[in-house]
Each structure stands twice: as structure tokens, then as C-alpha cells.
Amino acid sequence: MQTMLESLVEKHRPAAREGKVAEYIPELAKQDPRQLGVAVVDPAGEVHAAGDYRTRFTLQSISKLVSLMVALMDHGEEGVFSKVGMEPTGDPFHSLYKLEIADEAKPLNPMINAGAIVVSSLIRGRTVEERAERVIHLVREMADNPDIDMNRAVYRSERDTADRNRALAYFLKGCGVIDEVEETLDIYFRQCSICVDCIDLARMGLCLAQNGVTLRGKRVIPEDIARLAKTFMVTCGMYNASGEFAIRVGIPAKSGVSGGILALVPGRMGIGVFGPALDKKGNSITGTRLLEDFSKKLGLSIF
Amino acid sequence: MQTMLESLVEKHRPAAREGKVAEYIPELAKQDPRQLGVAVVDPAGEVHAAGDYRTRFTLQSISKLVSLMVALMDHGEEGVFSKVGMEPTGDPFHSLYKLEIADEAKPLNPMINAGAIVVSSLIRGRTVEERAERVIHLVREMADNPDIDMNRAVYRSERDTADRNRALAYFLKGCGVIDEVEETLDIYFRQCSICVDCIDLARMGLCLAQNGVTLRGKRVIPEDIARLAKTFMVTCGMYNASGEFAIRVGIPAKSGVSGGILALVPGRMGIGVFGPALDKKGNSITGTRLLEDFSKKLGLSIF
Amino acid sequence: MQTMLESLVEKHRPAAREGKVAEYIPELAKQDPRQLGVAVVDPAGEVHAAGDYRTRFTLQSISKLVSLMVALMDHGEEGVFSKVGMEPTGDPFHSLYKLEIADEAKPLNPMINAGAIVVSSLIRGRTVEERAERVIHLVREMADNPDIDMNRAVYRSERDTADRNRALAYFLKGCGVIDEVEETLDIYFRQCSICVDCIDLARMGLCLAQNGVTLRGKRVIPEDIARLAKTFMVTCGMYNASGEFAIRVGIPAKSGVSGGILALVPGRMGIGVFGPALDKKGNSITGTRLLEDFSKKLGLSIF
Amino acid sequence: MQTMLESLVEKHRPAAREGKVAEYIPELAKQDPRQLGVAVVDPAGEVHAAGDYRTRFTLQSISKLVSLMVALMDHGEEGVFSKVGMEPTGDPFHSLYKLEIADEAKPLNPMINAGAIVVSSLIRGRTVEERAERVIHLVREMADNPDIDMNRAVYRSERDTADRNRALAYFLKGCGVIDEVEETLDIYFRQCSICVDCIDLARMGLCLAQNGVTLRGKRVIPEDIARLAKTFMVTCGMYNASGEFAIRVGIPAKSGVSGGILALVPGRMGIGVFGPALDKKGNSITGTRLLEDFSKKLGLSIF
């Protein structure tokens, strides 16, 4: 396994030149596109890792999965899915037009930005800090790592440049779907800025692979919510490339524009990948290829 | 004329019950839908007016015409039309989706909100107040009324409830079309809140009917810019009912969601109408019918 | 006038290289892009013409104006406008998507293909030939030229390659807006294939400029229908460049993808132009520039 | 199992009154909405069935899965996916607008009508009959039932009323994606009209559950193609309710507007359901609820 991971990193690192780091968030634009790391954790706690697996990066859209689980714990399925749908969409993650042309301004799913903003608005707590802290707390629990925290430079960078997300949030407020724009976005930017490495991601993946039970055996997510999260990873986890990823890789995964991918094989392993060179749809180009190769070599597809 | 105007007001006032005042701006929601007033001014300065012609109301979208003329004086046709188009659109005034699905985020024309926000961003001046003041100044000049000013309660009401306009502005900023959201919107809300009555509107109409020369004979708008404004009134002046208005009424006009309509007959008269009950597209329902009747009775259509 | 027309033709002919003939209809693709002709007819019957004004070409979309007038004579305004709107649209002439995303499958206006197909379906007669013949008949009457007929090669060429128009027609049938696809399209292709020259177009323009009375003094169109047609020429006559044309040229005009433009100055003249090199929106590039220059030199804008 | 299936049928049959049979295809409109049947086949060949499991119905969209596999055998993944995408879409099955507003007229996936029409165009053979026969042949092989054939009355009914599908096909032809409209649609209508019962569907499901090997042990589909088909069932199998179905039911399934659903549990069973009362998205309302209940009782979700 160790050797395989190392050779996969070397094999796929050159594809970085076909992609680009996320340029619209200044802090992310500083990342080195040629970095590529991977970590795998199995239920016995054995860890295999290769490449730049120690590099720290922010969760970005991976956090949408965690905030969804917090919102589901707060409001139940009915409460959440009355405000956001469950359907994958063929549109880019920051798309807005369907909110306007549909009969109802209900984001199609919680993995696109509009849907994730609605989800962030649902997280309970007395203050913005407390509400965001609840997402960070679940990340720490899933990863068995109490040191995880947000990266303040990324947080500020996102907050100051999030024009499209503000457009989405004001549109949703105008339709009565959310009440507060800046508070909601503040939670959203904070959760996006949570900082991890590949091993953290792999442990988070293992927690979902075990339906909500961490490596150390602690249940931190109710089973039905963990299953639901895994389902969204399959249908909507890789933006509007989720269908292709299901066919070519076939395991639950959620990506972020930092270049991270949280993946898992049910019951068998959690996987964390980091490769900041992105393809046009916003997924790590090196990370996706590494995962496809890894899945095919070991026959991991759930289909 | 006087008798005709009075009988037109009485005839069309009852149609108010088929419409509604603009409810999304609290200050406008307070208006009495049954009000209806009209004023007509001819080049000799003769004024005929009937109904609630003394009621004061805010320009709202009528101001888009004035800010367009200021921006054209500042940047010329090329400068303005590199950022906003000249084409009518079949979509509602606050529509956003076409900015996303088009190849280029260029609002189709300066009379829809997205286009008008871009135009407001182009108005020169050192401060927001100074820039908005230049629009107010041109309104005063066109109407020969130095007392015209903004209504601060309406201004604050718009500023605090303009979610959709903020969504538009942030979207445009995200696409690099405007630089500043809050400053630009502040100018936009200020110009929308300029307060007039039917006689002011009629005098503004006469100024355009005379290609930029006021009732007192002062040129306040270059002739080519006045002509251009009149053309936009015909193709885009009544939101996405402009085509029907051209067919049924046939004179240049610009409406606002306050219920005002600035209209004119080239070389012959300026017309100001006020009727706050709106149809579904945002035009005064009583005002539109009164103008149609008036135009047919006197054969005013330019077609 | 004669000299001016000749110099305008020479001045604008070179712009042909910036455009292209319509390539999707094989018969039109054979046209020589460098041709450019113009004819002007005044109420006294004086004719001035220059360039390739004797070349014959097909009406294409110009026929939409004529079929609209026939349908209005058959069904009245209410009958026609219950099925097709009056609003200009910012979309290309063969666009379909708005029929799907709108609440109702009602084409926005009779000058886009979807709307013109609905109009063709409304023309009365016992057979397709008879119904198409009624459009041809009105063209002959407007142009005072009984020899006008359709070009059968163009008709067949259109019929065999009209995939997008068939898509539109089947979509409209699926929505219950039209009953018969092939019959309706057959009328549509026949009217598009009516063959004229610049002088015919100029006479047709004069007939509209005189509100429905031909050069020889015969009323062939009711006045209100002629006015309505002129209004559509201003708001929708040049596809989704109508707004710009209104600003830059300012006279009623209707173009076709053959490169023809029927234009007029109310009460003063009819104008026929032919220049088959088209811009991206489907209007004659040389013809549009010639008309702009001509309108500015003589101050013809109605605005 | 037998008792469970019987009680599930009785429990969910009343939900039929919340749905409607497909009314746009006259032959389908004749179906009795209160019918509900289910059959389950396991690898040992044991069959359990309840309700109206002997009623015969047509495959409709379920055939899209079979034609996709034939096309993949003919052209490989690259050949097929150069013309049709792999992404789920939030839009209804007969939607067209995205083909127009996207940069490229490439249907998002092979399970929406536009994509399935492209797939039908790719099936090889000398004649339309031979090409359609190849789809029927694979259905017979998967179901181990040589008597399966098309229902000619349904075929003719579809052919004569398929306005929207013709619109889609002509649109695709206009974009150069398919060459022949009527031939392609003929194959498409023939495959939609293939007539089966619940046991046939269950056997087809078992064949996919065994990655392409039938109940009798015959490989009729290459393994990688069977896996790919199952993946599409999860991401796009239930039209634009696939995301919700994945969450609530969690097994690969493909529905048709006849009311049939082909479903499976990998390695364990094939399931055929028939209930012609449809919900608004075109899925069997009784069948979907029965499957949800069945899946939850037995813990069948793959997630």
C-alpha cells in the first residue's frame, strides 16, 4: 500500500500542469499547484501516506458536508429539505440562474453554494462564532484531532472577495429563503476556512465509512445522517463532475477548491487527498486521477 | 383639454382595483392606490392638469433615464455602451439569469435594474453625494424647479430592503463590471428617491420633446443625448411591456414603480402621470390606460 | 439623391468582408457577399437606385411582416395576440429556450421565428398553397408588381434544411400552440421564398410609409394594421439588434437573412436595400451601415 | 418474503390516487392507475411476486438503459461519451433549454430524452428494424425470455404524438449531433414499446445485479458496461428525483412513464415493479413508495 501510494503520487503529479490553483481567492492562489499528497486510514488505525500529505489546506466545499450534518442534527431531514433539495444539477457550483427560472427559489442540493449557504443559515447557536464553532467541533471529532482550527488569513481573504456568494445570499434573502446575509456568509466563510491535512481528511472519511463512528470507536454522527451524507457525496460530491466521478472512480467523495478531496470506501477505509491544481469544474485534477487509478487498482467502486 | 383630462382621470381611476402598489419597498406600500393625476405642458408653457396632480412621488425607474443622460455626458456613447447594451429584453426589470447564461455579463439595456446599476457606477464625482447630486441637478434643470430633492424616508426604505438589487450589484462586481457595490447602490437609491409631482414630470417630458431645451428655452441636454433617451423610452421605457405600449399608445414614455410615468409627444408636449396601482410588470395600471385613451383621442402615436 | 446613393454603395461595399452570407440555407450560401444595392421611392413615384438594385433575392424574415398583416386581417388583434406577444426579446431569432422556461409557451413577438411560425399557422385558406398565396398576393399589391412569385429552389432548400424551425414548430405543437407542423412550415417556407428586388422592397416600404396605401393610391392594408406593422419594425424588426438600430438609424425597418432590408420614412419614402453579407445577429452588415449613413445625412430618425 | 410483498402491495396501492397515468401517450392513458405489482428474483432463481405482477407494460425510459449498453458495445465509452455526458441534471426528462444555453449541444446524460435519442442514433445495424431488434434482443437475453416483443399499438401511439421528442431530435440534428431524425426516433419509439411484466424486469435487474450474467449463468453484457449502467441508475435513473431516491431508497433503479421500475440489489436480487400512477416527475408513485418501504425493511441501501 505504502509503495503504491508513493508511486501514484509520482505518476500523477505532472498532471498539475493541466490545471490551475483557485485564483479568485487570493490566499488559495498562493498554493503550489505541483503539491500532491494522499493518506489512507483503515478501521484498525493503520495509516499509509505519501507525497505532500503533511501540507495543511482549508476544507472549502468539503465543509458543506459537515455543516449539512450539523443542520440535520439541528432540524431533522424535514426541516432541512424543506429549504434545500436533494437533486444533483448539471450546473457549476456558483450558479444562480436556476433559482430565478424555477417556480420556487429552492437550491437544488446542499453541495452547491446556494444550497450550502441555506444550510449554514440553519445551524443553531447564539452567535456567529458559536454557530461556526459547532461545525469546527464536528470536524475535530470526526478527525480525532482537537487542534483543528480555521485559517484566519483564508477566512479574511474569502470574506473580502466573495462577490458571487454575496449575490447568491442576497438573492436568497430577497426570496425569503434566508434572513441574514452577512451573518450567514460569515459562518459559511469560517467553515470553508477550517484547516486540515490529508490524515485529518482520511480520518474524517473513515468516520463516515463507519457510518458515524470514529477510529477510536466514538459515535459522533447518527447513523442515518452519516448514510445521507455519503449518498450526497456520490450524487453531488464532485460538483458537476459527480456523474463522471461515480463512473470512473465509484466511491463517495467530496472535493473543495483548495484541492482537497475527502473520500472513503464503506467499512474499509477513509482517504484524504490534496492537490491544488484544479480542472475547469473546480476539482483537483491530480487528486481525481490519483483516486481513479487507486480505485481501479484495488477494485473499490461501490457499483 | 382640461375637461378631457378630468374626464380621463375619472374614467380610469376605478381600474386601480385591478392593480397593487409596490409592496416590496415599505415607503411605497403606503401610497393610496386610488390616486390618479395627470399634467400636460406645451411649448408655450400652457399647463393642463387633473386629478391628484399635486401629489408628490419618487422617480424610481424614471431616474434611470436621467442618470443615463448624465453618464453619456461623462463618457460618451462608446464609454457607456461598452458596459451596457441597447437591446430591449423580454425579461422582468430585476432579472438576473441572462447575465449568467450569456457569454458576457453585459446588461442588455440601461432601463433594466442591472443596466441602471452599471450606469450609476459611471456617474462622475468625488463623493457619492456629489455623484447623486448631479442626477438631481439635471432633474431640477429639466423641470425648471430648483426645489426638487430626494425623499429621505424612501431612500432609507429602499436602501434597507434592496436584496435583489444587491444581488445584481454583487453579481456584476463578481464579473468585473462594477467596482464598488455599496457606493454604486447608494447613488442608485438616491436617484430613485428623487421626489416630484406630475407637473415636474410634464416639464421634464417637454424638455425631451424639445430635444433637450427646457420650457424657458435653456439647453440642458445635448440634442443627440436627448434623442437617444427618447429612443430608449420607446424600446425599453415600460419594462417588458414596452412593445405593447408602443403599439397601443405609441409615444416615448418611462415608468417607475412609484406609479409615475414621464411621457412626451415630440415637439408638442410633455406629459406627467401618477397612479400608484401597478400591473404585474410594474407599470401604473391606471396611468397606462389613461395615456392609451389620451393618445388615441388626440392621435398622438409616432407610428 | 442619385449621386448620394451611388457614393453610399461604394463607401459601404467593402464592409462585406466583415460579414458572411447565410450558410445554413444552401441556396443563400451561393449569394455573392459583395453585392450591395439600394432603391428609394417617394410618394410622387420618383425612384432613385444604385448598385446591385436589380438583383433578385428572397424576402426571408421580411415576409414575417406581411404574414402578420394577413393574420391580423383574418383574426384581428385579439385573435393574433392571444397566441403571440408584442414584446421585443434580447435573444437570437431562432431561440427556443424561453418557450420552455416561461410560464406559458407564447412566443414573445411575431418577428422571431417561433412567433412567425405561429402567425403562419393563423393564415386562413383551404390549402397550404392558397394560404401561402395570400401572403404572396399582399406582397404583390404592396409592391404594385403582379410578377412577384416565390423562388422554388430557395423554397426547397429551406424546406430540406430547416431543422431548427422544425424543432420550434414541434415544440409549439407539443404545447398546443399550433396544430399542424408540416403544413404550417410549408406556408412559412413559401413566404420566406418570395422573390423581390430593391425597387419592390422600396415600394412595399412606401405603402407602409403611407399607412397602407400604395404608390398608385390603392389602399391594400387597413391603416391600423399598417401602423402596428411599423411599430413592430421599430421594436423588433432587426432581430436582437433592433434597439441599437433604433438608436443609430431610427427608422422602421425589417431585415431578412437573404440580406434584404425593407425600410421607410413615415409619409416620405420607402427604401429597399440588399447586401447579403450578414453580421452575427443575421442583419446585412453593408445594408445596415448604408442605412445609418443615409439616415444621418438626411436626418431621417423618427426620434 | 412472499407475505411481505403482498402486504406492501396492499399498503401502497391507495397512494395511486395521488398520481396520474401518463396522459400524453394515448395508449398509456388507458392504463388502470390502481394496478400495482412487484416481483423479486434472487441468484438461486427463486421468484416472489405479488399484486398485478402478471400485467404487461412497456419499458418506456427503462429501455434507455438497454440501448445505452448496446451503444457502448458498439462504440466503447469514448465513442458514446463524446456525444452525450455523464452528469445528472436537475431538469425534467424532456427538457431542451440547456442544449441551447450551454456552449455545446451535448445532452447531459443518456437517461434524459435528448441523451437517449443520441444513444439510439448510435446503435448499429443495416435497417431501423435491425437496429431496434438489437435492443429487443438484449432485453430478451437479460430476461431469459425469448417471447418479449414490442407492443405495436403503443409504438404507433408514441410515434404519432411525440412532438416534444421530435423537437429535441430536430434541435440535435440542427446542431449536427444526430444525422437522421425519423430513423432515430423510430428506433427510440420501438425500444420504448418493448413489452414486459414484473418478472421480466426482475430478471433483467438480476442480470445487472450479477454484473451482466443472467439467472441461467450466461454472460450477456460485459462486466464494465453492466457496472456503468448501474452507476447511471443511481445518479440519473429516476429522472430529476434520482437524488431523493438515492437517499430514501438507496438502490440502483430505472423508471419509465408506463409505471415500470427496474431495480436491483448488487449480488443479491433483481426487482421489477409496476404501478402506472405517476408523480409529477414521471416516476411511479406507488412503485417508489413500495421500493422505499421494501429497502428500509430489509436494509438494502448501498450507502
Contact D280, D288 (CB under 8 A): no
Contact call for B100 and A101, based on CB within 8 A: no
- The region that residue D275 occupies, defined by phi over 0 for left and psi between -120 and 50 for alpha, beta otherwise, is beta
Using an 8 Å CB-CB cutoff, list residues of chain D that contact chain A: 85-91, 98, 108-109, 227-228, 230-232, 234-236, 240-244, 246-247, 250, 252, 266, 301-303
Nearest CA in chain B to C233: B303
- The pLDDT-based confidence of C57 (bands split at 50, 70, 90) is very high
Fold of B61-192: Beta-lactamase (3.40.710)
Sheet with strand C57-58: strands edge to edge? C57-58, C194-196, C149-150
| Angle, alpha carbons C291-C295-C296 (nearest 5°) | 120
Contact call for C98 and B90, based on CB within 8 A: yes
* Residue-level pLDDT at B161: 82
Neighboring chain A residues of B169 at a CB cutoff of 8 Å: 167
Using an 8 Å CB-CB cutoff, list residues of chain C that contact chain B: 85-91, 98, 108-109, 227-228, 230-232, 234-236, 240-244, 246-247, 250, 252, 266, 301-303
Q: Specify the long-range contacts of residues C237-240, CB closer than 8 Å, at least 24 apart.
A: C237/C65, C237/C111, C238/C281, C238/C283, C238/C288, C239/C61, C239/C92, C239/C93, C239/C111, C239/C112, C239/C281, C239/C282, C239/C283, C240/B87, C240/C89, C240/C90, C240/C91, C240/C92, C240/C93, C240/C281
- The pLDDT-based confidence of A205 (bands split at 50, 70, 90) is very high
Select from C97, C170, C174 the Cβ nearest to the Cβ of D100. C97
Nearest CA in chain A to D235: A235
Query: Which residues of chain B fall below pLDDT 50?
Result: none
Known catalytic residues of D are 61, 64, 188, 239, 257
Is pLDDT above 90 for A42?
yes
- pLDDT tens digits, residue range A77-122? 999 999 999 999 999 999 999 999 998 899 999 999 999 999 999 9
Percent of chain C with pLDDT over 70: 100
Select from C90, C231, C302 the Cβ nearest to the Cβ of B87. C90
H-type helices in chain C, by residue range?
Answer: 2-12, 26-29, 62-81, 97-101, 113-122, 128-143, 152-161, 163-174, 181-192, 198-209, 223-236, 242-248, 285-298
Is pLDDT above 90 for C28?
no
- The stretch D275-301 carries a mean pLDDT of 97
- The stretch D54-81 carries a mean pLDDT of 98
Mean pLDDT of all residues belonging to chain D: 96
Q: What is the enclosing helix (H) or strand (E) of D253?
A: strand D253-255
Is residue B97 among the annotated active site residues? no
Using CA atoms, how far residue B97 sits from B93, B101, D261, in Å, is 12, 6, 36
Contact call for A244 and D87, based on CB within 8 A: yes
Domain edges within chain C: 2-58+195-298, 62-192
Is pLDDT above 90 for D24?
no
Best A93, A166, A168, A178 residue to mutate vs chain B (most B CBs within 10 Å):
A166
Known catalytic residues of A are 61, 64, 188, 239, 257
User: What is the nearest CA distance from B85 to chain C, expressed in angstroms?
Assistant: 8
CA distance C59 to C56: 10
Neighboring chain D residues of C105 at a CB cutoff of 8 Å: none
Neighboring chain B residues of A167 at a CB cutoff of 8 Å: 96, 166-171, 174
Amino acid at position D161, single letter: T
Selected from 3.30.710.10, 3.40.710.10, 3.30.450.20, 3.90.850.10, the CATH number assigned to the domain covering D2-59+195-298 reads 3.40.710.10
CA distance C118 to C168: 10
User: What is the nearest CA distance from A52 to chain D, expressed in angstroms?
Assistant: 30
- pLDDT tens digits, residue range B176-229? 999 999 999 999 999 999 999 999 999 999 999 999 999 999 999 999 999 999
Is pLDDT above 90 for A124?
yes
Using CA atoms, how far residue C189 sits from A163, C65, C157, C178, C283, in Å, is 48, 14, 9, 16, 19
Domains D2-59+195-298 and D62-192 share a fold: yes
* Residue-level pLDDT at C199: 98
* Residue-level pLDDT at A181: 97
- The stretch C186-197 carries a mean pLDDT of 98
Question: Using N-to-C axis directions, what is the helix angle for A181-192 and A163-174, rounded to 10°?
Answer: 140
Is residue C97 among the annotated active site residues? no
* Residue-level pLDDT at B209: 98
Is A151 annotated as a binding-site member? no
Sign of dihedral through CA atoms A207, A209, A215, A218?
positive
Which residues of B are part of a known binding site for substrate? Answer: 61, 113, 158, 165, 188, 239, 257
The CATH class, in words, for B2-59+195-297 is alpha beta
* Residue-level pLDDT at A25: 84
Is pLDDT above 90 for A27?
no
* Residue-level pLDDT at C25: 84
- The pLDDT-based confidence of A190 (bands split at 50, 70, 90) is very high
- pLDDT tens digits, residue range C140-190? 999 999 999 999 999 999 888 899 999 999 999 999 999 999 999 999 999
Contact call for A97 and B95, based on CB within 8 A: no
User: What is the nearest CA distance from C24 to chain D, expressed in angstroms?
Assistant: 9
User: What is the nearest CA distance from C177 to chain D, expressed in angstroms?
Assistant: 12
- The pLDDT-based confidence of C299 (bands split at 50, 70, 90) is very high
CA distance D239 to C191: 41
Nearest CA in chain B to C246: B231
The architecture that CATH gives domain A62-192 is 3-Layer(aba) Sandwich (3.40)
Superfamily holding A2-58+195-298: DD-peptidase/beta-lactamase superfamily (3.40.710.10)
Best C98, C99, C171 residue to mutate vs chain D (most D CBs within 10 Å):
C171
Select from B231, B240, B266 the Cβ nearest to the Cβ of C246. B231
